Amino acid sequence: MLKRILEISPKTSYFSILSGGIEDDFSLSERITKTCDNLIESCLKKKTKVTIICCSSFSLNVPPKLDRYGMPISESTVVANYLKNKLLGKIEFELLCEQLSHDTLASLVFLSELYVKNFEITKLNIYCPFYQKRRVLEISKFLKKINFFSGCGLNIVGVDSTVDDKILKDRLRHENNAIEEFKRNTQSIKLKKDFFKFFLRKHTCLNCLFSGRKVSNEFY
């Protein structure tokens, strides 16, 4: 009977990757391709089917890139296509695209509530550029305290990437500011329902009329 159950429900290894924007020619930046390649290396070592959840629609910091029909190009779709081309014929895999979020906080919330909860994921490996890792850790630590990612172990993997020293310095300053701002805005939140009230009402990258609007700072 146990063998029969295992045959019906083969084990799956779950991964996720956080997007980081696309270039004017619709390609991925070098830091994101390096993150993708590192994720691919890990997937190829697995003996099981691999499910990869690609996160993000597009950032609100800059206007979205548009396809030939004038429609916004989803960052998660571009990432998924890159992974597909690299993995095809090598392992059994499934690619899922989360196309609701515009920032890291929303990506993690939707990962928890749409995927971890409904797919009953007990371990999730989340990949991101190394400079983003601390922010992902801080946000996920807070979310876990208020019952997000219930029953799921998170492994946050920060991938080293080629970033110019000046750009890296600016990015790390942004990361630190984003973490402090997130802590200030969530320090009084103790319950999941109270977080959702904040998330749905006051989180700029979620509750805004983004059509024709440019958000100057991605805080989370």
The answer to whether residue 215 is domain-embedded is no
**Predicted pLDDT of residue 1:** 43
**Predicted pLDDT of residue 208:** 67
The answer to whether residue 162 is domain-embedded is yes
The answer to whether residue 220 is domain-embedded is no
User: Cβ distance 57 to 78 under 8 Å?
Assistant: no
The answer to whether residue 3 is domain-embedded is no
Span 88-107, pLDDT tens digits: 999 999 999 999 998 999 99
Count how many residues are written for the chain. Answer: 220
User: Cβ distance 208 to 215 under 8 Å?
Assistant: yes
The answer to whether residue 155 is domain-embedded is yes
Give the pLDDT mean for 170-180.
90
Q: Which residue's entry shows tokens 């998660």? A: 76
The answer to whether residue 218 is domain-embedded is no
Span 33-60, pLDDT tens digits: 999 999 999 999 998 999 999 999 988 8
**Predicted pLDDT of residue 207:** 75
Task: Choose the most confident range, by mean pLDDT, from 57-71, 135-149, 151-165.
Answer: 135-149
Q: Which domain holds residue 147?
A: 8-201
- Does residue 219 surpass a pLDDT of 90? no
Q: Is 128 helix (H, G, I), strand (E, B) or coil?
A: strand
Q: pLDDT-based confidence at 66, cuts 50/70/90?
A: very high
Q: pLDDT-based confidence at 5, cuts 50/70/90?
A: very low
The answer to whether residue 167 is domain-embedded is yes
Structure tokens, 206 = 């979620």
- Percent pLDDT > 70 in the chain is 90
Q: Which residue's entry shows tokens 């095809």? A: 88
The enclosing domain of 102 has a CATH number of 3.40.50.620
Tally of structural domains, the chain: 1
- DSSP states along 76-111: HHHHHHHHHHHHTTTS-EEEEEE-S-SSHHHHHHHI
The answer to whether residue 219 is domain-embedded is no
Does residue 121 come out as left (phi exceeding 0), alpha (psi in the -120 to 50 range) or beta? beta
**Predicted pLDDT of residue 201:** 86
Phi, psi of 9 (to 5 degrees): -120, 75
